[in-house]
Structure 1
Amino acid sequence: MGSGGIRSSLSRHASEGFRVPSIIDSTCVRRIQSTVGTTRAEVQFVSHVVQETAVGVDTIRTTTDAVHKDIGAVHEGVEATHRIVTKNRDEAKTVSSEKQPTISNRDKLPARPTFFYGRDELVNIIVELICASTGARIAIMGSGGIGKTSLSLAVIHDERVVGVIGDSGYFVSVESATDVGAAAHLLAGQLGLTESSDPLSASITHLKTIPRALLIVDNLETLLFSKNAAAQKDTERMLQRLARIPSLTLIITSRGAVPPNGIRWSNAPSAGLEAISLGAARETFEQIAGRPELASECKALDSLLANVDCMPLAVTLLARMARLSNSPSHLLQRWQLKKTSFIRSGGDDRESSVDVSIQISLDLLKGMHNGMEGQQLLSICANLPDGLRPSVFEQLYTHFSDIHGAKDLLVEFALISIGPENELKMLSPVRHFVLKHHHMTMNHAAALRKIYFDIAASGPTRMDENFSRLAQNVAPEYDNLTSFLLHLINMEEPSQELFDAIEAVSEYAYWTVPSTTLREAFSQRLDAHPAWLASCLECLARTQLSRDEYALAAVNLHAARKLYTTLDNRFREAVCGRLLGKCLWMQDSLEAAERELLAAQNTFIELGNEGSAAQCAQVLGLICISRHDYDQAVIHIILRARRFQATRGAA
């Protein structure tokens, strides 16, 4: 048994407190046996010792019986807490089952693209790879707006693929994920696994039980091209774990030309997905526009399509604009006027062509009735990667003269779409372009800020009987909250309101899928606010401890304790010491852990906080047991029980 297993077993026995008498009896017996000799005089001496010890044992047993009762009361409290947590879990399952009627996996998939031309050969190649192998690995790479997602959906809806995988096709977009933990949470949600402390492992275990399955992981570029090198490595490791499932066909879509490392991809490496042919682009445009009279402008149409490199997103957007009586000649003229003045996201024409098409859409939008309000609503949607939900949409009603008209206009221009829960969603390239070039008005920014601060404040901050009910306020908006708060962290000075919102969302995440994203970002802005920084670092370390990131937790605890010392906050300083002691114990640094815990315990006793002192005693007892120092362990455990009992009595 390893040190972790021994520690777990000893911790369980220590917490139950039912073996104290047996430990004491065993200790006494060993001491008596060690004095036994072979001579008559030694035997007589031992007999005398035994008689005296028996009296001591009776006294000890009387004491331990009382301790046993105290620990029994603590045990009853633990059981009551367990019943509350179990009830919350059952209620959550009931609410989930009532809100989400049973539907097939295929019904959950996004629809096959209606207008999909010029990719038949590539679809056939990928389908043949899937049908020929039980574990194909397909990487669909390319520039933004090139049609990677559409290609993957055409494949998963192909009749030949359906004949192989049946109803075991899954699609998960990780566009809104800010780290691998969030991506794993999204994957688990698509698989119907909503209550796991390790969503990635749970998803892998579930997928291994399916004879043939196909998983599409869409929009990986946010994670693969993260500025954080560790996040990139974590993403590659996540994909490698998925790729090791023999029965799983894995398809990923991402910007870029080179697929992730560490996986033997089934499709041959290439420079990425290329644009469709001019003929395919023309057919796409004509079918979407639905206007036969456009045939008279073939030359202007071909020129327009060539100027945007026949990229599917640009072609689709332009065709939808043509449905509003905008001719190809007019669209081409607008493109020619705007091209040279556009701010590009990349260094070449192909990379900037999506931005060009988006700007054309926005320019045309301004000329429409209610166009300015449409653009303002678009700016709001751009700040919400998971979509503008109906509940938030209605709260914005008073800030527009005709918000429903603005929404209808954006839907008509294909700048937003209506999601399965009636949320307003944007294509990823459009969203990022609008974020960069079209900011919200001050009025709309303030309104959205208040709405999401209220949502954050309405969530749970502890695991109790109200957790399941309050979690329903935050869960649907968690990704939007995270994204919007990150935006505010970068855009405005720290404030009490922002601090409270970040703490509320981070605490909700601590009890669901622990994330350090918000606190890590906020801590970089708090040099002028030592009290907030200390609290942020302490809570960040607590989350890292829950994720077994002991080295990172120790660094943040030392920094937080130093700040608390400067602030003369002895209680929080001692809390950091207690957490640091636990962290060191988990790293097998027993002597250092004991020093930290004893110092923290003494401070708590001086401050009259028996509950916190008892928590220190508990870990100190476990450390002694790890050293086989059972006498001292018994002392710590008894003190722990008495301190908890004193706390209950005071309450």
Structure 2
Amino acid sequence: MPLSCMPRQQQTVTEVRLDNISKCVTITVNTLDVLVNTLKIHGLEAMVNTTQSLLKLVQTIKQDKNECAELMEQTHNILNAIIGVYVKSDTGIELPPSTLNEIANFTQTLHKIHTFIEAQQSGSKVKKFFRQGELNGLLKDCKTGLQEGIKSFQIKSSDIMFTAREMEEQAQIRYQEVLNIIETISSSDSASSISRMYSGSYASSNSISMLPAEPKIFHGRESELADILKHFEQSTPRIAILGAGGMGKTSLAQAVLHHEEIVTKYQGNQLFVACDTAASKVELAGLIGAHLGMKPGKDLTQAVLFRLSEGPPTLLILDNLETTWEPVESRKEVEEFLSLLTDIASLALMITMRGAERPSKVQWTRPFLPPLEPLAQEAARKVFIAIAEDRHPMEEINQVLHLTDNMPLSINLLAHAVDVEGTTAILSRWQREHTSVISEGCDRRSNLESSILLSLESPRIMSTPHSQELLSLLSILPDGLSDVELKQSKFAIQDILDCKRALLRTALAYVDDHKRLKALVPIREYMAKFQPPTDKMIGPLFKHFQELLQVYVTDQGKSSAALYVERLTSNYTNILNIIQNGLYLGHPDLADSISCTSHFIRFNANIGKYATPLVNKVLSLLPHSEDHRAKASFTVRLFSNRTYSIPHPQAMIAQTFEWLETLDDPDLETIFYTRLGNYYSMLDIPTA
């Protein structure tokens, strides 16, 4: 009988069931694939690849088809729920660390399901490695993992779909929802930032070297701008912009950066490096290297110097360099690095620094630019009117400006307050609450503090009292906070985004080019001095960063680790400050802070940075802490860190073994022996 005339074999109910679920899973995994490839969510790649491989295996399965169909149906429900998490998220494609961890756990379950189903193939090589009892155990693990997934993603029994039509309809709906998300993101300016965030290249020149915007309001610095541009008539000037906090040093540097003469001269080869996070010469070189698109390394000093010397004519602006230069212990090496930079004939260098002293060892271009002073009265008036408009009586405008001492930051704060309340109300409040400040003619710092206090007491802030708590928290967060972090940190404040809006409206905070909420340096300093953040505010953010570091360490080496690198990097100094807050005897989170330090050391090593201040702080606490596990875990991690020179290593080794003896933890002890072997091998030091 010809093959074409042979009767087709009738499909069993189970085979039909497998075909139906395969069609639905195909649509769902295609939806996940769109998320991965369009929005660059690389942490889902393993899930997509494993599921696609599963679909191929199901087509040729020979045994336990009922079990396989059940596993695939539950897998589809969880995949569908994961897509729903992204669709319903109010923080875009950035999910909380706990949710990312649940996704990672489900991916591991998927691998087990893949192994089980592969073992059901005819003549499967995988099955040869399993006894029947082991296969039963593997199936049990698969079912347990699926149940945990159903619980983690809160899939109710009413949400579980049983018919093929229900599953296919829901899969199509999810696919359309994802397309809508992509369309929304693609039509906004966040599309490129999302792509950068998940590109896995957090140190690329495209992502980190974005130039700040040109100042929108710029009055009263025309003379200084002209003097600086005149210096650029020389081939490579070296210029220091100095002055008190809040004087507009950064705005002047940004005006130079965007001036048409500078743009024409350097043709895109301008670097604007914010130095707030650099605590040493090595970290400063690392920041510059990141802006140049270089990969992280232990010390990029020589690599940066070589890259700049071999490149085209370049303008390098180091903003807020006082952060790196002021500590006495790092000043000498920072000055030596600046001197080496100025040895590069094609490199123009401009720095902004608080104070009136220039770093030595650099031949600064003469004549020196004097420290910035308060604005002239007419310029101050122009700045004020640009913010608050000229609808107020000029006499009262002049009275308000008198209170600011014509300092740009003070003008900015009071002008925003006047814009809402009017000059009469502001002057009345000032007379009532700050008469002594006016009558005594206090200095600039006192005027600045009074301006900040006046903004803090404005009706917009008083109507959202928790906004002051948020501002106090920002005082120890130089990196600021994204909306994702504001929402996911679970602060005990229900109206956290209302607090953010209040701070923005009163100009007590601002949103930078990366959409992070920040406070200006003088305001941070004021709040840290007069209204420091409470543990009630710090605690939730500490827990958030703790989870993020834990998930990062757990997923180290996996593709999902790329999801956390950008989030940790963008919060680098924040994490440093938050951990330091808990590193003192008697703090309830001391043990967790030591544990976080261990994870942070690992993260630092992977990105080519140091955490020396944290390490030294923990080492000083170890003799006084009673938590032997935290102490032993910390020293075990320390001996695997190649970027830190351990003081008195033999004594620390002996002490660690004493702590380990009290724990009865063979696994941790084994890890320590391994780390010691690597440590001595790296140093080429004999153990005896």
Distance 2:538 2:208 in 1: 38
Q: 1:518 to 1:103 in 2, by over 3 A?
A: closer
Question: What is the CA distance between 1:230 and its match in structure 2?
Answer: 2.3
8 Å CA contact retained: 1:538, 1:560: no
Superposed CA deviations along residues 548-607 of structure 1, whole A, max 9, x for unmatched, are: x7xx53x3413413423654769799779767856875xxxxxxx44xx23xxxxxxxxx
Unaligned runs of 5+ in 1: 1-91, 586-592, 599-651
> Which of these residues, 449, 469, 489, is aligned with residue 355 of structure 1?
449
Distance 1:485 1:156 in 2: 36
8 Å CA contact retained: 1:140, 1:253: yes
Q: Which amino acid aligns with 1:245?
A: I
Tell whether 2:136 aligns with 1:136: no
Q: How does 1:157-556 map to 2 (within 5 A)?
A: 157-226=258-327, 229-269=328-368, 272-290=371-389, 292-294=390-392, 296-298=393-395, 300-327=396-423, 330-331=426-427, 333-334=429-430, 337-338=433-434, 340=436, 349-364=443-458, 368-370=462-464, 372-396=465-489, 399-460=492-553, 464-466=557-559, 467-468=561-562, 471-472=565-566, 474-489=568-583, 492=587, 495-515=590-610, 516-529=612-625, 531=628, 532=630, 536=634, 539-540=637-638, 543=641, 546-547=642-643, 552-553=645-646, 555-556=647-648
Question: What is the CA distance between 1:487 and its match in structure 2?
Answer: 2.5
Q: Which amino acid aligns with 2:515?
A: N
8 Å CA contact retained: 2:206, 2:293: no
What is residue 124 of structure 1 aligned with on the other side?
Answer: 226
Distance 2:297 2:380 in 1: 45
Distance 2:674 2:202 in 1: 41
Superposed CA deviations along residues 173-208 of structure 1, whole A, max 9, x for unmatched, are: 111333333333332232222444433433333322
Distance 1:509 1:580 in 2: 18
Question: What is the CA distance between 1:165 and its match in structure 2?
Answer: 0.8
Question: What is the CA distance between 1:260 and its match in structure 2?
Answer: 0.5
Distance 1:101 1:563 in 2: 42
Q: Which moved more, 1:270-279 or 1:499-508?
A: 270-279
Q: 1:151 to 1:335 in 2, by over 3 A?
A: farther
What is residue 74 of structure 1 aligned with on the other side?
Answer: none
8 Å CA contact retained: 1:339, 1:356: no
Q: 1:258 to 1:425 in 2, by over 3 A?
A: same
Distance 1:513 1:141 in 2: 31
Tell whether 2:205 aligns with 1:111: no
Q: Which amino acid aligns with 1:109?
A: L
Q: Which amino acid aligns with 2:426?
A: H
Question: What is the CA distance between 1:533 and its match in structure 2?
Answer: 5.1
SS in 1 for 2:420: coil
Question: What is the CA distance between 1:251 and its match in structure 2?
Answer: 0.7
8 Å CA contact retained: 1:144, 1:354: no
8 Å CA contact retained: 2:219, 2:383: yes
Distance 1:508 1:225 in 2: 26
8 Å CA contact retained: 2:273, 2:287: yes
Distance 1:265 1:340 in 2: 42
Distance 2:591 2:526 in 1: 31
Task: Tell me how large the CA RMSD over aligned residues is.
Answer: 3.5
Q: Which amino acid aligns with 2:450?
A: V
Q: 1:325 to 1:456 in 2, by over 3 A?
A: same
Q: Which amino acid aligns with 1:389?
A: S
SS in 2 for 1:239: helix
Distance 2:449 2:462 in 1: 20
Q: 1:540 to 1:268 in 2, by over 3 A?
A: farther
Question: What is the CA distance between 1:278 and its match in structure 2?
Answer: 1.7
SS in 2 for 1:460: helix
TM-score using structure 2 length: 0.63
Q: Which amino acid aligns with 1:114?
A: K
Question: What is the CA distance between 1:367 and its match in structure 2?
Answer: 5.8
What is residue 96 of structure 1 aligned with on the other side?
Answer: 199
Q: Which amino acid aligns with 1:355?
A: E
SS in 1 for 2:582: helix
Q: 1:104 to 1:519 in 2, by over 3 A?
A: closer
State how many pairs are aligned. Answer: 480
Q: 1:489 to 1:100 in 2, by over 3 A?
A: closer
Distance 1:502 1:168 in 2: 38
8 Å CA contact retained: 1:213, 1:247: yes
SS in 1 for 2:553: coil
8 Å CA contact retained: 1:502, 1:518: yes
SS in 2 for 1:268: coil
8 Å CA contact retained: 1:275, 1:312: yes
Superposed CA deviations along residues 402-447 of structure 1, whole A, max 9, x for unmatched, are: 2222211111111111223321111111122212222334433322
Distance 1:473 1:166 in 2: 32
Identity %: 26
SS in 1 for 2:528: helix
Q: 1:501 to 1:173 in 2, by over 3 A?
A: same
8 Å CA contact retained: 1:461, 1:504: no
8 Å CA contact retained: 1:142, 1:254: yes
Question: What is the CA distance between 1:97 and its match in structure 2?
Answer: 7.0
TM-score using structure 1 length: 0.66
SS in 2 for 1:351: helix
Q: Going by fraction, where is helix more abundant, 1 or 2? A: 1
8 Å CA contact retained: 2:583, 2:618: yes
Distance 2:198 2:525 in 1: 35
Distance 1:257 1:168 in 2: 29
Distance 1:509 1:312 in 2: 37
Distance 1:495 1:120 in 2: 52
Tell whether 2:660 aligns with 1:558: no
8 Å CA contact retained: 1:335, 1:360: no
Question: What is the CA distance between 1:243 and its match in structure 2?
Answer: 1.9
Q: How does 1:580-595 map to 2 (within 5 A)?
A: 585=684, 593-594=685-686
Distance 1:437 1:327 in 2: 27
Distance 2:503 2:213 in 1: 21
Unaligned runs of 5+ in 2: 1-194, 662-668
What is residue 22 of structure 1 aligned with on the other side?
Answer: none
What is residue 73 of structure 2 aligned with on the other side?
Answer: none
